[in-house]
Amino acid sequence: MADNNTERVPTVIADDVHIVYRVHGAGGGRGSATAALSRILRGKKDKQQRGVREVHAVRGVSFTAYRGEAIGLIGTNGSGKSTLLRAIAGLLPTERGHVYTEGQPSLLGVNAALMGDLTGERNVILGGLAMGMSREQIRDRYQSIVDFSGINEKGDFITLPMRTYSSGMGARLRFSIAAAKNHDVLMIDEALATGDRKFQIRSERRIRELRKEAGTVFLVSHRNKSIRDTCDRVLWLEKGELLMDGPTEEVLKEYEKETGK
Protein backbone atom coordinates (compact mmCIF):
# COMPACT_ATOMS: atom_id res chain seq x y z
CA MET A 1 0.00 0.00 0.00
CA ALA A 2 1.21 3.43 -0.92
CA ASP A 3 0.74 5.18 2.38
CA ASN A 4 1.30 2.27 4.67
CA ASN A 5 4.26 3.21 6.81
CA THR A 6 4.33 -0.10 8.61
CA GLU A 7 5.48 -1.85 5.45
CA ARG A 8 7.78 0.51 3.64
CA VAL A 9 9.06 -0.83 0.35
CA PRO A 10 12.31 0.72 -0.86
CA THR A 11 12.28 1.69 -4.56
CA VAL A 12 15.56 3.58 -4.88
CA ILE A 13 18.67 3.23 -2.76
CA ALA A 14 21.55 5.59 -3.39
CA ASP A 15 24.65 4.49 -1.53
CA ASP A 16 27.49 7.00 -1.42
CA VAL A 17 26.93 8.02 -5.04
CA HIS A 18 29.63 10.04 -6.80
CA ILE A 19 29.19 11.28 -10.38
CA VAL A 20 32.06 12.77 -12.33
CA TYR A 21 31.72 14.32 -15.78
CA ARG A 22 34.79 14.28 -17.98
CA VAL A 23 35.07 17.16 -20.40
CA HIS A 24 37.50 16.41 -23.20
CA GLY A 25 39.65 19.18 -24.57
CA ALA A 26 38.13 21.69 -22.19
CA GLY A 27 39.67 25.14 -22.18
CA GLY A 28 41.74 24.44 -25.28
CA GLY A 29 39.25 25.80 -27.80
CA ARG A 30 39.80 22.52 -29.53
CA GLY A 31 38.04 23.25 -32.76
CA SER A 32 39.73 26.54 -33.55
CA ALA A 33 42.75 27.00 -35.81
CA THR A 34 44.66 28.98 -33.16
CA ALA A 35 44.11 26.21 -30.63
CA ALA A 36 45.35 23.62 -33.13
CA LEU A 37 48.45 25.75 -33.84
CA SER A 38 49.21 26.23 -30.18
CA ARG A 39 48.88 22.49 -29.63
CA ILE A 40 51.43 21.82 -32.37
CA LEU A 41 53.79 24.41 -30.91
CA ARG A 42 53.46 22.99 -27.43
CA GLY A 43 53.97 19.44 -28.71
CA LYS A 44 53.57 16.23 -26.76
CA LYS A 45 53.56 17.80 -23.31
CA ASP A 46 50.28 19.38 -24.17
CA LYS A 47 48.56 16.01 -24.22
CA GLN A 48 48.64 15.97 -20.46
CA GLN A 49 47.90 19.66 -20.04
CA ARG A 50 45.06 19.62 -22.52
CA GLY A 51 43.89 16.43 -20.85
CA VAL A 52 40.46 16.07 -19.49
CA ARG A 53 38.67 18.38 -17.11
CA GLU A 54 36.68 16.65 -14.41
CA VAL A 55 33.50 18.00 -12.91
CA HIS A 56 32.61 16.23 -9.69
CA ALA A 57 28.86 16.91 -9.89
CA VAL A 58 27.51 14.58 -7.18
CA ARG A 59 29.50 13.88 -4.03
CA GLY A 60 28.70 10.98 -1.75
CA VAL A 61 24.91 11.17 -1.83
CA SER A 62 23.03 8.48 0.11
CA PHE A 63 19.30 8.09 0.66
CA THR A 64 16.53 5.52 0.45
CA ALA A 65 13.26 6.29 -1.32
CA TYR A 66 10.13 4.30 -0.57
CA ARG A 67 7.07 3.34 -2.55
CA GLY A 68 4.36 5.96 -2.29
CA GLU A 69 6.73 8.85 -1.61
CA ALA A 70 6.93 12.02 -3.66
CA ILE A 71 10.37 13.49 -3.18
CA GLY A 72 11.36 16.98 -4.20
CA LEU A 73 14.93 17.78 -5.22
CA ILE A 74 15.97 21.34 -4.53
CA GLY A 75 19.19 23.31 -4.67
CA THR A 76 20.65 26.31 -6.44
CA ASN A 77 21.69 26.16 -10.12
CA GLY A 78 24.37 23.61 -10.82
CA SER A 79 23.97 21.82 -7.47
CA GLY A 80 23.65 18.39 -9.09
CA LYS A 81 19.90 17.73 -9.12
CA SER A 82 19.55 16.74 -12.80
CA THR A 83 22.78 14.75 -12.63
CA LEU A 84 21.51 12.75 -9.67
CA LEU A 85 18.24 12.00 -11.49
CA ARG A 86 20.10 10.92 -14.60
CA ALA A 87 22.20 8.57 -12.50
CA ILE A 88 19.11 7.08 -10.84
CA ALA A 89 17.64 6.56 -14.32
CA GLY A 90 20.79 4.65 -15.24
CA LEU A 91 21.80 7.21 -17.86
CA LEU A 92 25.07 8.12 -16.13
CA PRO A 93 27.57 5.73 -14.56
CA THR A 94 28.57 6.26 -10.95
CA GLU A 95 32.21 7.01 -10.27
CA ARG A 96 31.89 5.52 -6.80
CA GLY A 97 28.97 4.09 -4.86
CA HIS A 98 25.85 2.42 -6.15
CA VAL A 99 22.27 3.07 -7.15
CA TYR A 100 19.79 0.25 -6.60
CA THR A 101 16.31 0.56 -8.05
CA GLU A 102 13.20 -1.51 -8.06
CA GLY A 103 11.75 -1.64 -11.55
CA GLN A 104 12.69 0.68 -14.39
CA PRO A 105 12.91 4.33 -13.42
CA SER A 106 11.61 6.73 -16.08
CA LEU A 107 13.13 10.13 -16.41
CA LEU A 108 10.84 12.80 -17.70
CA GLY A 109 12.85 15.90 -18.44
CA VAL A 110 12.01 18.92 -20.48
CA ASN A 111 14.70 17.59 -22.80
CA ALA A 112 13.35 14.07 -22.97
CA ALA A 113 14.18 12.63 -26.34
CA LEU A 114 11.20 13.00 -28.58
CA MET A 115 11.71 13.99 -32.20
CA GLY A 116 11.17 17.56 -33.27
CA ASP A 117 10.58 16.77 -36.91
CA LEU A 118 7.76 14.37 -36.15
CA THR A 119 4.23 15.50 -35.38
CA GLY A 120 2.94 15.51 -31.82
CA GLU A 121 0.76 12.60 -32.85
CA ARG A 122 3.75 10.48 -33.96
CA ASN A 123 5.65 11.46 -30.83
CA VAL A 124 2.84 10.23 -28.59
CA ILE A 125 3.19 6.84 -30.28
CA LEU A 126 6.99 6.94 -30.19
CA GLY A 127 7.07 7.98 -26.52
CA GLY A 128 4.53 5.31 -25.59
CA LEU A 129 6.54 2.60 -27.36
CA ALA A 130 9.73 3.85 -25.68
CA MET A 131 8.05 3.44 -22.30
CA GLY A 132 7.14 -0.15 -23.13
CA MET A 133 3.47 0.36 -23.94
CA SER A 134 1.92 -1.80 -26.66
CA ARG A 135 0.42 -0.21 -29.78
CA GLU A 136 -3.00 -1.16 -28.52
CA GLN A 137 -2.44 0.50 -25.13
CA ILE A 138 -1.22 3.61 -26.90
CA ARG A 139 -4.25 3.64 -29.19
CA ASP A 140 -6.54 3.32 -26.16
CA ARG A 141 -4.85 6.15 -24.29
CA TYR A 142 -4.03 8.39 -27.24
CA GLN A 143 -6.98 10.74 -26.85
CA SER A 144 -6.59 11.10 -23.10
CA ILE A 145 -2.88 11.93 -23.55
CA VAL A 146 -3.72 14.65 -26.08
CA ASP A 147 -6.56 15.97 -23.92
CA PHE A 148 -4.38 16.02 -20.83
CA SER A 149 -1.69 17.98 -22.63
CA GLY A 150 -4.21 20.56 -23.78
CA ILE A 151 -2.20 20.88 -27.01
CA ASN A 152 -5.33 20.95 -29.14
CA GLU A 153 -7.20 23.49 -27.03
CA LYS A 154 -6.34 26.28 -29.43
CA GLY A 155 -6.45 24.42 -32.72
CA ASP A 156 -5.17 21.28 -34.36
CA PHE A 157 -1.56 21.43 -33.17
CA ILE A 158 -1.07 17.72 -32.54
CA THR A 159 -0.67 17.14 -36.30
CA LEU A 160 2.13 19.72 -36.55
CA PRO A 161 5.82 18.86 -36.05
CA MET A 162 6.89 19.21 -32.42
CA ARG A 163 9.60 21.69 -33.37
CA THR A 164 6.82 24.21 -34.06
CA TYR A 165 5.61 24.01 -30.43
CA SER A 166 6.46 26.60 -27.82
CA SER A 167 8.72 25.26 -25.05
CA GLY A 168 5.72 25.10 -22.72
CA MET A 169 3.66 23.13 -25.24
CA GLY A 170 6.51 20.66 -25.79
CA ALA A 171 6.99 20.17 -22.06
CA ARG A 172 3.27 19.62 -21.58
CA LEU A 173 3.12 16.95 -24.24
CA ARG A 174 6.20 15.20 -22.82
CA PHE A 175 4.70 15.23 -19.34
CA SER A 176 1.37 13.93 -20.67
CA ILE A 177 3.04 11.05 -22.50
CA ALA A 178 5.07 10.02 -19.46
CA ALA A 179 2.14 10.41 -17.08
CA ALA A 180 -0.05 8.12 -19.20
CA LYS A 181 1.69 5.11 -17.76
CA ASN A 182 2.03 4.06 -14.15
CA HIS A 183 5.68 4.09 -13.26
CA ASP A 184 7.63 2.27 -10.61
CA VAL A 185 9.80 5.35 -10.27
CA LEU A 186 8.91 8.51 -12.15
CA MET A 187 11.38 11.38 -12.23
CA ILE A 188 10.25 14.77 -13.39
CA ASP A 189 12.79 17.44 -14.14
CA GLU A 190 11.32 20.93 -14.11
CA ALA A 191 8.44 19.83 -16.34
CA LEU A 192 5.89 21.66 -14.29
CA ALA A 193 7.72 24.96 -14.41
CA THR A 194 7.08 25.38 -18.11
CA GLY A 195 3.35 24.73 -18.27
CA ASP A 196 0.78 27.43 -17.53
CA ARG A 197 -1.05 27.48 -14.20
CA LYS A 198 -3.99 25.39 -15.42
CA PHE A 199 -1.65 22.70 -16.70
CA GLN A 200 0.43 22.81 -13.51
CA ILE A 201 -2.65 22.12 -11.40
CA ARG A 202 -3.60 19.23 -13.70
CA SER A 203 -0.13 17.70 -13.58
CA GLU A 204 0.18 18.11 -9.82
CA ARG A 205 -3.07 16.19 -9.47
CA ARG A 206 -1.66 13.47 -11.75
CA ILE A 207 1.52 13.24 -9.68
CA ARG A 208 -0.59 12.67 -6.59
CA GLU A 209 -2.45 9.89 -8.46
CA LEU A 210 0.80 8.29 -9.58
CA ARG A 211 1.91 8.24 -5.97
CA LYS A 212 -1.26 6.49 -4.89
CA GLU A 213 -0.73 3.94 -7.63
CA ALA A 214 2.29 2.87 -5.61
CA GLY A 215 5.08 4.53 -7.59
CA THR A 216 7.75 6.83 -6.27
CA VAL A 217 7.91 10.28 -7.78
CA PHE A 218 10.97 12.54 -7.84
CA LEU A 219 10.42 16.16 -8.79
CA VAL A 220 13.15 18.67 -9.54
CA SER A 221 11.83 22.19 -9.38
CA HIS A 222 12.86 25.72 -8.56
CA ARG A 223 9.25 26.49 -7.77
CA ASN A 224 8.91 25.89 -4.05
CA LYS A 225 5.15 25.99 -4.38
CA SER A 226 5.18 23.01 -6.76
CA ILE A 227 7.35 21.13 -4.29
CA ARG A 228 5.03 22.05 -1.38
CA ASP A 229 1.91 21.04 -3.31
CA THR A 230 3.33 17.73 -4.52
CA CYS A 231 6.04 16.37 -2.22
CA ASP A 232 6.13 15.13 1.33
CA ARG A 233 9.88 14.79 1.49
CA VAL A 234 12.69 16.95 0.13
CA LEU A 235 16.36 16.37 -0.64
CA TRP A 236 18.43 19.56 -0.70
CA LEU A 237 21.59 19.35 -2.78
CA GLU A 238 24.32 21.95 -2.79
CA LYS A 239 27.63 21.63 -4.67
CA GLY A 240 26.80 17.99 -5.27
CA GLU A 241 26.36 17.19 -1.58
CA LEU A 242 23.19 16.26 0.21
CA LEU A 243 22.71 19.11 2.69
CA MET A 244 19.35 18.06 4.09
CA ASP A 245 16.84 15.23 3.73
CA GLY A 246 13.55 15.53 5.56
CA PRO A 247 9.89 16.57 5.59
CA THR A 248 9.08 19.19 2.93
CA GLU A 249 8.25 22.05 5.27
CA GLU A 250 11.32 21.54 7.44
CA VAL A 251 13.74 21.49 4.52
CA LEU A 252 12.09 24.30 2.56
CA LYS A 253 12.13 26.55 5.62
CA GLU A 254 15.90 26.18 5.89
CA TYR A 255 16.34 26.51 2.11
CA GLU A 256 14.28 29.68 1.98
CA LYS A 257 16.23 31.11 4.92
CA GLU A 258 19.45 30.40 3.03
CA THR A 259 18.38 31.59 -0.40
CA GLY A 260 16.13 34.43 0.77
CA LYS A 261 13.25 33.16 -1.36
Ligand X SMILES: Nc1ncnc2c1ncn2[C@@H]1O[C@H](COP(=O)(O)OP(=O)(O)OP(=O)(O)O)[C@@H](O)[C@H]1O
List of residues contacting ligand X (CB under 6 A): 21, 23, 55, 57, 75, 77-83
Considering the complex, state which of residue 78 and residue 161 has its C-beta at the smaller distance from ligand X: 78
Nearest distance from C-beta of residue 243 to ligand X, angstroms: 12
Nearest distance from C-beta of residue 83 to ligand X, angstroms: 3
The answer to whether residues 52 and 20 touch, using CB atoms and an 8 Å cutoff, is: no
Nearest distance from C-beta of residue 72 to ligand X, angstroms: 13
Break the chain down into helix, strand, coil percent, rounded to 5.
45, 25, 30
Considering the complex, state which of residue 75 and residue 195 has its C-beta at the smaller distance from ligand X: 75
Considering the complex, state which of residue 148 and residue 255 has its C-beta at the smaller distance from ligand X: 255
Buried b (16+ CB within 10 A) or exposed e, 163-184: eebeeebbbbbbbbbbbbbebb
Nearest distance from C-beta of residue 241 to ligand X, angstroms: 12
Considering the complex, state which of residue 75 and residue 127 has its C-beta at the smaller distance from ligand X: 75
Q: Strands 70-74 and 233-238, how do they pair?
A: parallel
